[in-house]
Amino acid sequence: MIGFSLLAQDGAARRGQITTAHGTIETPAFMPVGTAATVKAMRPEEVAATGADIILANTYHLMLRPGAERIAALGGLHRFMNWPKSILTDSGGYQVMSLAQLREIGEEGVVFRSHLDGTRMTLTPELSIEIQRLLGADITMAFDECTPFPATEEEARRSMELSMRWAARSKDAFKSRDGAGLFGIVQGGVFPALRQQSAEALIAIGFDGYAVGGLAVGEGQDVMFQVLDETLPALPQDRPRYLMGVGKPADLVGAVARGIDMFDCVLPTRSGRTAQAFTRRGTVNLRNARHAEDPRPLDESCDCPACTQYCRAYLHHLVKANEILGSMLLTQHNLRYYGGLMRDLRAAIADGGLADFAAGFAEAQARDDIPALQDRDG
């Protein structure tokens, strides 16, 4: 069982704390993605320095390589990757649907071929939960089918109902232990009635937290926010809420305002490896020639090494020369930016000033008063 306490509210927005066997998670929280037991281009202590209290690891990838049993024999995922704080593991369902080959989805689970070597494998709710137990996850995710987008209402219904049956089996398979919890996942596509049915089914089963899945898959921000507006009031106030796979800074601010407590996304790390940097005035593309002779810091308000020890011209040079250091510095910067955004959101909620913060954030992101910060890449 994990703990969750609400410390402050501002409208629907919540400031809280989640307590696991490996520490306290200040919420709203962003979880850097450590797919293969590492946050790419970052050492664990550097990830912690960005403000992260928890990271996400990937069940599907770790079951394929190096294997959950091997990780368990070596002391569990925390020791294996030298991360002393909390870990959330996803169920593997999304990766099976998006990466694996020749999928066959049935009531029992999913039969698929590994994207690495074509090995035929099966993943069921029970096996997903067991793998996550072997990894030593602080927060385990129920096994679900990620509803494709677009989908008809009937397709979304069948997918959601299957996920709810799998959720019940996940709960039965989960072995409760101190400081560890199990989250259910709300599905239902973009259809409010299906989302409501999914939420009701999960509450009846009973989980330590509730995730909203199946969003940020192409539906657009307006639709995503509409789904959250229609779904979150149905979820318990005394449990954490997790929006999966989101996202852009503006998505985070809008979702926090609607009552989301946790996020994960590959965007800040992937962007760091593709020369994109998030700043308080928007997104900067370090590949652009305009930065080649720019002696200024990337963001003068940031205290990360990329901003305090190097200039834009040098970062541009690293990117153009395909030097690994460029990916390392920009990844660290982006995670520091996301960590700072979460910290600012927590402070705004505690002070009752979230609406003013959100308005100022939107205005700052749209500024064009500094020429080298006019890039809007995604």
Count of residues in the chain: 378
What is the spatial distance between Cα 69 and Cα 80, in angstroms, rounded to a whole number?
12
Q: pLDDT by residue (tens digit) across 205-229? A: 999 999 999 999 999 999 999 999 9
pLDDT of residue 375: 31
State if pTM tops 0.85.
yes
Residue type at position 23 = G
Residue type at position 93 = G
- Which residue has 């796979």 as its token pair? 245
The Cβ of residue 87 has, within 10 Å, a number of other Cβ atoms equal to 26
Query: Looking at the chain, which residues constitute the CATH 3.20.20.105 domain(s)?
Result: 3-264
With left for phi above 0 and alpha for psi between -120 and 50, is residue 133 left, alpha or beta? Answer: alpha
What is the spatial distance between Cα 41 and Cα 266, in angstroms, rounded to a whole number?
13
φ, ψ (nearest 5 deg) of residue 111: -100, 130
φ, ψ (nearest 5 deg) of residue 154: -70, -40
What is the spatial distance between Cα 269 and Cα 277, in angstroms, rounded to a whole number?
10
Coil vs helix vs strand at 374: coil
**Contact yes or no for 240/4 (Cβ under 8 A):** yes
Q: pLDDT by residue (tens digit) across 87-123? A: 999 999 888 878 877 789 999 999 989 989 999 999 9
**264 in catalytic set:** yes
pLDDT of residue 374: 28
Q: Is the peptide bond before 28 cis (omega within 30 degrees of 0)?
A: yes
**356 in catalytic set:** no
Low-confidence stretches of the chain (pLDDT < 50) are 368-378
What is the spatial distance between Cα 131 and Cα 135, in angstroms, rounded to a whole number?
6
pLDDT of residue 304: 97
Q: List residues bridging with 86 in a β-sheet.
A: 54
Helices of type H across the chain:
44-49, 59-64, 68-73, 77-81, 93-98, 125-135, 153-173, 192-205, 221-231, 249-257, 267-273, 305-308, 312-320, 324-351, 354-365
pLDDT of residue 209: 98
Tokens of 9: 């509210």
**Contact yes or no for 123/92 (Cβ under 8 A):** yes
**Contact yes or no for 312/296 (Cβ under 8 A):** yes
Crossing angle for the helix pair 192-205 and 153-173, to the nearest 10 degrees: 10
Q: Is the peptide bond before 66 cis (omega within 30 degrees of 0)?
A: yes
Beta-carbon contacts of residue 282 (< 8 Å; ≥ 6 apart): 365, 366, 367, 373, 374, 375, 376
The Cβ of residue 98 has, within 10 Å, a number of other Cβ atoms equal to 13
Annotated catalytic residue, options 264, 294, 299, 375: 264
Annotated catalytic residue, options 90, 144, 299, 375: 90
- DSSP assignment letter at 354: H
Q: List residues bridging with 243 in a β-sheet.
A: 212, 263
pLDDT of residue 376: 24
pLDDT of residue 367: 54
Q: pLDDT by residue (tens digit) across 311-331? A: 999 999 999 999 999 999 999
CA 205: distance to chain centroid? 24
Tokens of 322: 């395909």
Would you identify the CATH topology of the domain 3-264?
Answer: TIM Barrel (3.20.20)
DSSP letters, 110-126, are: EEEE-TTT--EEEE-HH
What is the spatial distance between Cα 212 and Cα 231, in angstroms, rounded to a whole number?
8
Tokens of 339: 């960590």
